[in-house]
Amino acid sequence: MVTPSTAIVRRPYAPRSAATDWTNRLTRCLSGLGLFGAGIALILHAQLGAAPWDMFHQGISHKTGIRVGLVIEAVGLLILLLWVPLRQRPGVGTILNAIEIGLVVDLVGPLLPDTDRLIARVGYLVIGIAIVAVGSGLYIGAGLGPGPRDGLMLGLIARGKSVRLARTIIELVVGICGVLLGVRPGIGTLMFMFGIGPLVQLTLPRLALPPFAESRRYLAPRVLPAA
């Protein structure tokens, strides 16, 4: 079973103080969420098919007239209700996720240059998916609490599913909901649906920090053995 608390940390992690540990985790969390939002903005701007969750968000946006960023935030908060049967606990990172990603999408999207060239749009798509995977590894691995949507994934992982399978199942179900809301999938939808799970399974173990209990062990005074 792979979770942020059991993910492999490939480099020794020995923060100098509890404050340093907390600052490092918060910085990684905020950076990861920023990358995630920027990646989603790139995927949407490519117009080659949104990621399944964003098909769902776009469908709600089209039906209600609410900005996509605000829909992302509202859906994130509502999804927290589904955590109850999965026994997932929110953290600082959970709240930050529900707020920051939507803000970044609304801020970055208008700054991206428009283009009709297919190669540029494919570039937006591929870079966006890669950035989302790295951002996921950073903010989940920070150990401050997963995002609302990732909490669903971690709940399935805790029940014996792999990261790849859990993420793919969720993306597939949400993608179907997006289609039912009138959003048409594209090649980008399929690339994200079947690519993000394996990519997060690759990035999470490499970017995850030890759980707080283990990091406190590094911070505890060490008594050297007698000569």
Cβ-in-10-Å burial (0-12, 13-18, 19+) of 115 comes to: middle
Task: Report the alpha-carbon distance of residue 8 to residue 45 in Å, rounded.
Answer: 34
pLDDT given for residue 213 in this prediction: 61
Q: Which pLDDT score, from 0 to 100, does residue 1 have?
A: 38
Q: Give the predicted TM-score (pTM) of the model.
A: 0.77
Residue type, 103: L
Residue 152: pLDDT over 80: no
Write phi, then psi, for 210 (nearest 5 degrees).
Answer: -65, 155
Q: Check pLDDT > 50 for residue 90.
A: yes
Q: How many Cα atoms are found within 13 Å in the side-chain-facing hemisphere of 221?
A: 1
**Is 80 exceeded by the pLDDT of residue 97?**
yes
Per-residue pLDDT for 5 more than 50?
no
Q: Structural domain boundaries of the chain?
A: 23-206
Please say if the pLDDT value at position 223 is more than 50.
no
Q: What is the pLDDT of residues 8-58, one digit of tens each?
A: 445 567 677 888 888 999 999 999 999 999 999 999 999 999 888 889 999
Tell me, what's the pLDDT at 166? 82
Mean pLDDT, to the nearest integer, of 102-108? 91
pLDDT at 117 over 50: yes
Helix axes 18-46, 212-219, angle to 10 degrees: 140
Span 146-155, average pLDDT: 78
What is the DSSP code string of 110-123?
GGSPP---HHHHHH
Quick check: 225 pLDDT over 90?
Answer: no
* % of the chain with per-residue pLDDT over 70: 86
- Long-range CB pairs of 120-125, under 8 A, 24+ apart, other chains included: 121/46, 121/47, 121/48, 122/46, 122/48, 124/42, 124/43, 124/45, 124/46, 125/42, 125/43, 125/46, 125/48, 125/187, 125/188, 125/191
Q: What is the DSSP letter of 80?
A: G
Residues 6 or more apart whose CB falls under 8 angstroms from that of 190 comprise 49
The Cα 80–Cα 151 span in angstroms is 8
